[in-house]
Structure 1
Amino acid sequence: MAAVGLLFVGAVLFINGAMLLGWIDARSAAPMNFFVGALQIITPTYLIFTANGNTDTILQAAGLYLFAFTYLYVGLNLSFGLDGTGLGYFCFFVVLSALVYSWLNFTRFHDPAFGVIWLYWAFLWALFFVVLGLKVESLTKYTGAVCAIEGWVTGWAPAFLLLTGYYNDFKTQLAIALAVFGVVVFGLLAVTLRPGKYVTAERVPTGAPAPAG
């Protein structure tokens, strides 16, 4: 069930990245944030209630609420034109939590691929914090590009591997590929999307961003 939610996390990250890049109108991104936010509330709630006290299942399911609340927060901000500062500081909370979940996946769950994926999400939500919480709006375009790419590599791709039953066969290779991809691609984007090319403050949607999981 979590894999189904992850597939649509990929969709909302791509949509929100496209919004930050200025490809789509900000308000048109709100419905997808509400849809996926609601799904990410239902999924972990079901998993927790059916866990029969399994602490690992509950621990993993609890992390999904971090993203559910992010997407619902984004949807409300976009719908009502709210200031994004509160969302930005919530993203800082998500960053610290994502780092813990990354460490847990490497050490407790023995899942290196999701250990790397949680690092991806920590990086993306850190960008959201900087853009929205600290108002460094010159990073908006870079954040949008990272967000859109993460929709495919941390949502769509692993979701289909899980849904088709191939994930366990390739999780080590996926971890290595994602680690290399992230360093190379996001590093190149940082060089390519120079500050002079970033979206100006007047074009930043008040309620943007996306994240995860």
Structure 2
Amino acid sequence: MDSVGLLFVGAVLFINGVMLLGWVDAKSAAPMNFFVGGLQIITPTYLIFTANGDANTILAASGLYLFSFTYLYVALNITLGLDSTGLGYFCLFVFVSALVFSWLNFTRFADPGFGVIWLYWAFLWLLFFLLLGLKQERLGRYTGAVCAIQGWVTGWFPALLLLTGSYTDLAGTLAVVLAVFGVVVFGGLYVILGRRSAPGVPATTPEPHVAV
């Protein structure tokens, strides 16, 4: 993934996460989704047109559209007040695609760091599908927390490693650290936020049509 685009993917995931947590008004999050969604269309299109037919470059760039279309879909949902179901089922498509890109990073690209990062994204988009497509509203705050954290650990941090030229030497270590971090932190958060979202406990999650 283009390192500059990845930096701003981190930003929009963080904003959307805190929106789901109820810390940010949905309409105030829409512009960032438009900005990053637009950027993530320009970037892969440029990479594909300048790839000179290189299959690996085109393959890697194609994954960026999964992000751009998600963010633009979110922005339009917020702006137009649309039902979340269509976005939710698109997230199911992204979830399956992210699993494939994870496998490709482990095998074809020999990049375990992004192999794990794509697994993170697959998990996040699965949560979006459950929340938005299947209306599992009890997952709202949990999804928001996972999304906000992923903004930092799958966007901001690896982008800085790429931009400073440090990623290659640390890819293997990053993969192990992220794998352990994900299991421990996201597992613990599910226990904590799952209890808070149990029946009988007042929900504070924003309406799901504004999510992702």
* TM-score for the superposition, normalised by structure 2: 0.96
Alignment length, in residue pairs? 209
**Cα distance change, pair 39–202 in 1 and its aligned pair in 2 (3 A):** closer
Shift of 1:201: 8.1
- The aligned residue for residue 22 of structure 1 is 22
CA distance in 1, matches of 2:170, 2:31: 34
Runs of 4+, deviation exceeding 6 Å: none
Root-mean-square deviation (CA, aligned residues, Å) is: 1.4
Matched, 1:200 2:209: no
Matched, 1:125 2:125: yes
- The aligned residue for residue 145 of structure 2 is 145
Preserved contact between residue 9 and residue 36 of structure 1 (Cα < 8 Å): yes
Structure 1 unaligned spans of 5+:
none
CA distance in 1, matches of 2:209, 2:26: 9
The DSSP-based 3-state class of the residue aligned with 2:210 is: coil
Preserved contact between residue 73 and residue 87 of structure 1 (Cα < 8 Å): yes
**Cα distance change, pair 169–28 in 1 and its aligned pair in 2 (3 A):** same
* CA deviation string 1:138-190 (max 9, x = no partner): 10000000000000000000000000000001000000000000000000001
* CA deviation string 1:41-83 (max 9, x = no partner): 0000000000000000000000000000000000000011110
What is the one-letter code of the residue matched to 1:207? V
Preserved contact between residue 38 and residue 72 of structure 2 (Cα < 8 Å): yes
Identity %: 72
The DSSP-based 3-state class of the residue aligned with 1:109 is: coil
Matched, 1:44 2:47: no
- The aligned residue for residue 176 of structure 1 is 176
Shift of 1:204: 2.0
- The aligned residue for residue 85 of structure 2 is 85
Preserved contact between residue 37 and residue 70 of structure 1 (Cα < 8 Å): yes
What is the one-letter code of the residue matched to 1:161? L
**Cα distance change, pair 207–67 in 1 and its aligned pair in 2 (3 A):** same
